[in-house]
Amino acid sequence: MKIWSTLSDVPGGERSVVTIGNFDGMHNGHRRVVSSCVERARKRGTDAVAITFDPHPIQVHAPEAGLQLIFPLRDRLDAMAASGLDATLVVHYDASVYMLEPEEFVVEFLVERLGAVEVVVGEDFHFGRANLGTIDTLRELGRRYGFDVTMVTDIQAPEGRRWSSSWVRELLAEGDVAGAARVLGHLHRIRGTVEHGFKRGRELGFPTANLQEGIEGVVPADGVYAGWVVRQVPGTESAEFLPSAISVGTNPQFDGVKRTVEAHVLGRSDLNLYGERIAVVFVSRIRPMLAFDSLEDLLAQMDDDLRQSAYVLGVGVASRIDPEDVTAC
């Protein structure tokens, strides 16, 4: 998939079927819209092109909301490429874009640069200054400038709710990573660089890879999760998936204050991940974050966390690591 960062990157003479959206998380609803765009383009013998925005409009118009993206931009683009798009135009979202009248946006982006013969959008599509443009506006402009408009109806979960990025964020805030995965259509993940921590886990036999600053993606509610640490194998282009028990929270047992993500790779004492950029993938929540009456009670619970994580992930049960054997983490 080609990635265009500015309108000037788009080659002349384009003829395309275009879809437009933020596509944060590339959930089931997004994929239906993008898949329809790709299908329509194949039938017409044209390129399938998406327009997406960075930063997210809410981050520009309501920064106080503190919106975190479900996906960092590169993961969003990877997911869009996997859906079969030929190209994506990443539009830098600022006043030069959001102050455009609907017709100005259509002419500048769809007609003059992308040569749209058809535009595929979801039911809730709005565009242009103050979101004044609706699907009806788009259809009227399509008749004027020579492109068709296809609206993809919202698909709904069995409980009758439409798939949406806001729903994913709600589920993650509740710690329901399995529910979030159902809406997304894939497991939720975050990315970050492994930092040095207090090494308490190492001393207790549970060495962890710690993420704290600069985490990309929505961190789910405090608790213990089964999941995977994904790293690039040094010196290769291959990814390595490491079964893990993941702790999210402030570590109330030790009066912690700062919220961290700590991933213990089951059965491994030799991993040196400091400074590496990794992904942490959440599969299932094991339990909420708790403070225990004694260190012995905490260790007993952590042993059970390992067993439950291994069961969820379908791997062999790994016991606590002898601190003397820990060579990294």
**CB atoms near residue 156 (< 10 Å):** 12
Give the rounded percent of residues in the chain with a pLDDT score beyond 70: 93
Q: Are 188 and 272 in contact (CB under 8 A)?
A: no
User: What is the pLDDT, as a whole number, of residue 327?
Assistant: 58
Q: How far is CA 145 from CA 58, 90, 103, in A?
A: 30, 23, 10
pLDDT 10s per residue in the chain (329 long)?
Answer: 999 999 999 998 889 999 999 999 999 999 999 999 999 999 999 999 999 999 999 999 999 999 999 989 999 999 999 999 999 999 999 999 999 999 999 999 999 999 999 999 999 899 999 999 999 999 999 999 999 999 998 777 777 788 899 999 999 999 999 999 999 999 999 999 999 865 665 566 688 899 998 999 999 999 999 999 999 888 888 899 999 999 999 875 555 568 899 999 998 878 888 899 999 999 999 999 988 888 888 889 999 999 999 999 999 988 777 665 555 54
- Cα 314–266–214 angle (5° rounding)? 110
Q: Which amino acid is at 171?
A: L
At 174-230, the pLDDT tens digits run 999 999 999 999 999 999 999 986 566 556 668 889 999 899 999 999 999 999 999
Closest of 271, 290, 258, 282 to residue 209, by C-alpha = 271
Q: Are 234 and 172 in contact (CB under 8 A)?
A: no
Closest of 226, 160, 227, 231 to residue 194, by C-alpha = 231
Catalytic-role residue among 118, 262, 276, 296: 262
Q: Are 14 and 47 in contact (CB under 8 A)?
A: yes
- Print the SS3 string covering the chain: CEEECCHHHCCCCCCEEEEECCCCCCCHHHHHHHHHHHHHHHHHCCEEEEEEEECCHHHHHCHHHCCCCCCCHHHHHHHHHHCCCCEEEEEECCHHHHCCCHHHHHHHHHHCCCCEEEEEEECCCCECHHHCECHHHHHHHHHHHCCEEEEECCCECCCCCECCHHHHHHHHHCCCHHHHHHHHCCCEEEEEECECCCCHHHHHCCCCEEECCCCECCCCCCEEEEEEEEEECCCCCCEEEEEEEEEEECCHHHCCCCCEEEEEECCCCCCCCCCCEEEEEEEEEEECCCCCCCHHHHHHHHHHHHHHHHHHHCCCCCCCCCHHHCCCC
The residue count for the chain:
329
262 among known catalytic residues: yes
**CB atoms near residue 15 (< 10 Å):** 14
Closest of 44, 131, 79 to residue 18, by C-alpha = 44
Residue ranges and CATH numbers for the domains of the chain are 2-152 (3.40.50.620), 188-325 (2.40.30.30)
Q: Are 318 and 264 in contact (CB under 8 A)?
A: no
Q: Are 154 and 202 in contact (CB under 8 A)?
A: no
End-to-end Cα spacing for the chain: 37
